[in-house]
């Protein structure tokens, strides 16, 4: 990927400041309306902001220079992701939101030129959105080798049949990348599935519903769908990569993805700490005696700040390793940050809510939105328990060998 190698520390700090200013000036004022009102109804205003971000040269920062992005390393993009994470709208405004960012990275590396022109280019420009359909309600997503969705090749077409759920942001998306079994008899279960692009105006694609998340059904980009493929025909040329490469590509997609998520979670923690401190200073237990004077509250603030600092260092060190040695070399570190930072996120949000008292569980602050929607952080991109096993096994192996 083409990178801007001339960026120095000052350049990076200036860039971060520009993103921070943009969020404060334009994005924060729209948050409550888009998050607790109607995301869809707020879309025209969000699109205006996306245009503003383009005009300022801040749009799609993760892309290479030749693709119109900023040519950042993963470490540099991680720092931007942290800043953008401070708002639930941050990544969306700058077109570097999951699942689109993962699909962009995947297609950039593995899609044919025709697919790139037809789908990747408009995705990069923010003209369309996409989704990723792998998980099935009938099978354990934490061991995705078991899939019932099939893609049978007949002539120049695949015929796809299957049932998926938690296809995030399918509502309003233009296409999905679906994981389907193409070689059910392959002795290697990791070589049975392939990734195939399906345009969502295909008559064989059926949107079933947006799945309510703790009472919030969501809509448009902010949603998780259940979908079906019934005799869904697509040209064989919609295959991404090679047949049977599905799981290998999924790993490619997830490595940098975990850096993006972890840094976004750190951004959420920072905003939660800010809300926690402001509330602790303004809430009076007696006249002139703010909540902030209580030692327990001070402990919560200190523990949150310390664990966020530790998280940032761990994630940036992992990003550096991926930049320098590739995702495979950083497997253990990627697993470590995934479960460590999601736990920091849960604890920090919980403490911030507790400091707010009853207000904390209302929808009058962003905390309840994050508490509801980020609980999934311990489940998606591999449940925490799976990542702990990966790490523990590697550590045990070292001792078994010695």
In whole angstroms, how close is the CB of 44 to ligand FAD at the nearest point?
Answer: 25
Residue with the closest Cβ to ligand FAD? 141
Closest to ligand FAD by CB, 231 vs 385, is 385
Backbone phi and psi for residue 284, each to the nearest 5 degrees, phi listed first:
-95, 125
Closest to ligand FAD by CB, 134 vs 280, is 134
In whole angstroms, how close is the CB of 376 to ligand FAD at the nearest point?
Answer: 3
Closest to ligand FAD by CB, 95 vs 342, is 342
Closest to ligand FAD by CB, 321 vs 338, is 338
Closest to ligand FAD by CB, 193 vs 319, is 193
In whole angstroms, how close is the CB of 132 to ligand FAD at the nearest point?
Answer: 5
Contact positions vs ligand FAD (CB under 6 A): 99, 132-135, 140-142, 166-168, 224, 376, 379-380, 383, 385-386, 389
In whole angstroms, how close is the CB of 167 to ligand FAD at the nearest point?
Answer: 5
In whole angstroms, how close is the CB of 335 to ligand FAD at the nearest point?
Answer: 12
Closest to ligand FAD by CB, 70 vs 123, is 123
In whole angstroms, how close is the CB of 358 to ligand FAD at the nearest point?
Answer: 27
In whole angstroms, how close is the CB of 208 to ligand FAD at the nearest point?
Answer: 14
Closest to ligand FAD by CB, 16 vs 254, is 254
């Amino acid at each position: 990927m083409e990178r801007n190698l001339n960026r120095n520390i000052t350049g990076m700090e200036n860039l971060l400041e520009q993103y921070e200013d943009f969020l404060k000036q334009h994005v924060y004022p729209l948050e409550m309306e888009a998050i607790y009102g109607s995301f869809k109804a707020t879309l025209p205003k969000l699109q205006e902001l996306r245009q503003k971000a383009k005009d300022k040269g801040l749009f799609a920062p993760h892309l290479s220079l030749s693709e119109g992005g900023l040519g950042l390393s993963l470490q540099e993009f991680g720092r931007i992701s942290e800043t953008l994470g401070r708002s639930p709208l941050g990544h969306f405004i700058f077109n570097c939101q999951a699942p689109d960012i993962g699909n962009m990275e995947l297609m950039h590396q593995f899609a044919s030129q025709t697919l790139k022109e037809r789908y990747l280019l408009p995705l990069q420009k923010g003209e369309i959105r996409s989704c990723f359909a792998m998980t099935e309600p009938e099978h354990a997503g934490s061991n995705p080798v078991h899939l019932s969705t099939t893609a049978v090749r007949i002539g120049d077409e695949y015929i796809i049949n299957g049932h998926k759920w938690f296809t995030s942001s399918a509502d309003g998306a233009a296409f999905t990348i679906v994981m389907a079994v193409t070689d059910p008899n392959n002795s290697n279960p990791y070589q049975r599935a392939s990734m195939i692009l399906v345009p969502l105006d295909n008559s064989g694609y059926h949107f079933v519903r947006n799945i309510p998340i703790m009472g919030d059904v969501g809509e448009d980009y902010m949603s998780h769908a259940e979908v079906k493929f019934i005799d869904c025909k697509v040209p064989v040329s919609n295959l991404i990569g090679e047949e049977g490469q599905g799981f290998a590509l999924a790993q490619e997609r997830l490595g940098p993805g975990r850096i993006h998520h972890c840094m976004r979670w750190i951004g959420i923690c920072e905003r939660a700490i800010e809300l926690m401190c402001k509330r602790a200073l303004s809430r009076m237990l007696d006249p002139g005696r703010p909540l902030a004077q209580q030692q327990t509250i001070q402990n919560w603030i200190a523990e949150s700040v310390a664990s966020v600092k530790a998280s940032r260092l761990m994630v940036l060190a992992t990003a550096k390793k991926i930049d320098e040695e590739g995702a495979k070399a950083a497997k253990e570190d990627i697993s470590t940050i995934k479960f460590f930072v999601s736990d920091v996120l849960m604890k920090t949000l919980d403490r911030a809510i507790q400091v707010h008292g009853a207000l904390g569980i209302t929808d009058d602050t962003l905390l309840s939105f994050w508490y509801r929607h980020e609980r999934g952080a311990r489940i998606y991109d591999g449940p925490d328990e799976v990542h702990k096993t990966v790490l523990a096994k590697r550590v045990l192996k070292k001792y078994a060998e010695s």
